[in-house]
């Protein structure tokens, strides 16, 4: 019954009502219009279905252990009812629906000051792992202090494409875009309260939009993918995002101690 109700909720939200390409005036370079991700491209991203919140109905998250998900505190700060969607690159073929037993919000979180936008969710059962559901590689301890300025990143999510107004979120298929890290100094020209705990990416060719909160920002080093950031906020424009404005993410290397103390996540040296 729970499975049927969740599918119904997603269908009502528009997940299964895929709009035709004629709705778009041209190709979007937003995350969710940049390129469609394959089912194995981002196996550590999860969808989070949110009930009982007046701010969010959907966010993304990062699988950091078989029982824990990292997401933004801004998505879950009012302690809503959550369901984790795993193996969901195609929202019509979700592999796992798992409830959440506990929400832990960073004690210093402040939405007003854009500070410590981090939360850990404990699922009510472990998820099985397979080629479509994998635990993320968090930054190594050795990554602490690395600005990553100039690094190429991949940002992914199911958020608004910016192609049309009132677009249902999540969109049916996971999308991603590649964009470089910019300095926090440059980022501060577009946003207030940019901190050392933030990492920013260029919005010149697109970036995150509404519904992408909590999504991973990754780099590749020596053939390995690491999640160095988690999307926190962006500048809202006509369709929920604004071309040319940088996107602001949580700098995960600055939270490794807190994550390690409050989850089963494995952090390598």
Secondary structure element (H or E) that encloses residue 6, with its range: helix 2-12
pLDDT digits (tens, 9 = 90+) for 151-199: 999 999 998 876 656 678 899 999 999 999 999 999 988 888 899 999 9
| 116 within a domain of the structure (yes/no) | yes
Let me know: does 212 contact 56? Beta carbons within 8 Å.
Answer: no
Query: Could you report the per-residue pLDDT of 102-145, keeping only the tens digit for each?
Result: 999 999 999 999 899 999 999 999 999 999 999 999 999 999 99
Is 185 within the bounds of a domain?
Answer: yes
Shared domain for 105 and 154, answered yes or no, is no
Rounded to an integer, the average pLDDT of 53-80 is 92
Given a cut of 80, is residue 25 above it in pLDDT?
A: no
Distance CA 267, CA 138 (A): 6
- Apex 75 CA angle, 72 and 175, nearest 5: 75
Nearest CA to 45 out of 215, 261, 206 is that of 215
| 123, 198: one domain | no
Confidence of residue 209 (pLDDT cuts 50, 70, 90): confident
CA–CA separation, 59 and 80 (whole Å):
12
7, part of any domain: no
Cβ-based neighbours of 77, under 8 Å, separated by 6 or more? 105, 109, 111, 119
Helix (H/G/I), strand (E/B), else coil: 25? coil
Q: What pLDDT, on a 0 to 100 scale, did the predictor assign at position 237?
A: 59
Residues 55 and 132 in one domain: yes
Q: What DSSP letter does each residue of 250-266 carry, written as one string?
A: EEGGGGHHHHHHHS---
Q: Are 122 and 155 members of one domain? A: no
Same domain? For 247 and 148 the reply is yes
pLDDT at 13 over 50: no
For residues 242 and 65, the answer to whether their CB atoms sit within 8 Å is: no
262 pLDDT above the threshold of 90: yes
Name the nearest CA neighbour of 63 among 199, 238, 232, 230. Answer: 230
SS3 category, 75: helix
- Asked if residue 111 and residue 61 are part of one domain, the reply reads yes
pTM of the model: 0.87
End-to-end CA separation in angstroms for the chain: 44
Higher pLDDT, 207 or 87: 87
Greater model confidence, 246 or 29: 246
The total of structural domains in the chain comes to 2
User: Strand, coil or helix: what is 123?
Assistant: strand
200 in the same domain as 97: no
Residues counted in the chain: 269
The pLDDT assigned to 193 comes to 86
Q: Per-residue pLDDT for 15 more than 80?
A: no
Task: Burial-class residue 38 by CB neighbours within 10 Å (0-12, 13-18, 19+).
Answer: middle
CATH number at residue 197: 2.40.10.10
For the CA atoms of the chain, what is the radius of gyration? 17
Q: How many Cα atoms within 13 Å fall on the side-chain side of residue 104?
A: 12
* Confidence label for 254 from pLDDT (cuts 50, 70 and 90): very high
Mean pLDDT of 71-89: 95
Within-domain flag for 1? no
Which pLDDT band holds residue 29 (cuts at 50, 70, 90)? Answer: very low
Q: How confident is the model at residue 4 (pLDDT cuts 50, 70, 90)?
A: very low
**Per-residue pLDDT reduced to its tens digit, 38-51:** 999 999 999 999 99
Give the domain range for residue 242: 141-254
What is the helix, strand, coil percentage profile of the chain, to 5? 15, 30, 55
Q: What percent of the chain has pLDDT over 70?
A: 82
């Amino acid at each position: 019954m729970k499975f049927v109700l969740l599918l119904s909720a997603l269908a009502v939200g528009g997940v299964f009502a895929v709009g035709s390409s004629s709705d778009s005036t041209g190709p979007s370079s937003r995350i969710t219009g940049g390129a469609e991700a394959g089912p194995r491209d981002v196996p550590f991203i999860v969808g989070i279905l949110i009930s009982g919140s007046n701010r969010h109905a959907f966010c993304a998250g990062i699988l950091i252990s078989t029982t824990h998900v990292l997401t933004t505190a801004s998505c879950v700060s009012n302690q809503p009812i959550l369901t984790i969607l795993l193996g969901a690159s195609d929202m019509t073929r979700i592999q796992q629906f798992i409830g959440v037993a506990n929400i832990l919000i960073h004690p210093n979180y402040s939405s007003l000051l854009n500070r410590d936008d981090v939360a850990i969710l404990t699922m009510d059962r472990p998820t099985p792992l397979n080629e479509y559901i994998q635990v993320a590689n968090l930054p190594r301890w050795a990554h602490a202090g690395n600005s990553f300025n100039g690094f190429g990143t991949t940002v992914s999510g199911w958020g608004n494409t910016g192609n049309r107004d009132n677009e249902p979120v999540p969109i049916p298929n996971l999308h991603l875009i590649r964009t470089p890290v910019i300095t926090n100094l440059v980022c501060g020209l577009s946003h207030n309260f940019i901190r050392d705990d933030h990492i920013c990416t260029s919005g010149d060719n697109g970036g995150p939009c509404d519904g992408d909160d909590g999504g991973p920002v990754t780099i590749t080093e020596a053939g390995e993918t690491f999640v160095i950031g988690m999307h926190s906020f962006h500048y809202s424009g006509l369709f929920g995002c604004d071309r040319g404005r940088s996107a602001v993410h949580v700098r995960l290397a600055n939270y490794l101690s807190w994550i390690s103390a409050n989850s089963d996540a494995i952090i390598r040296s």
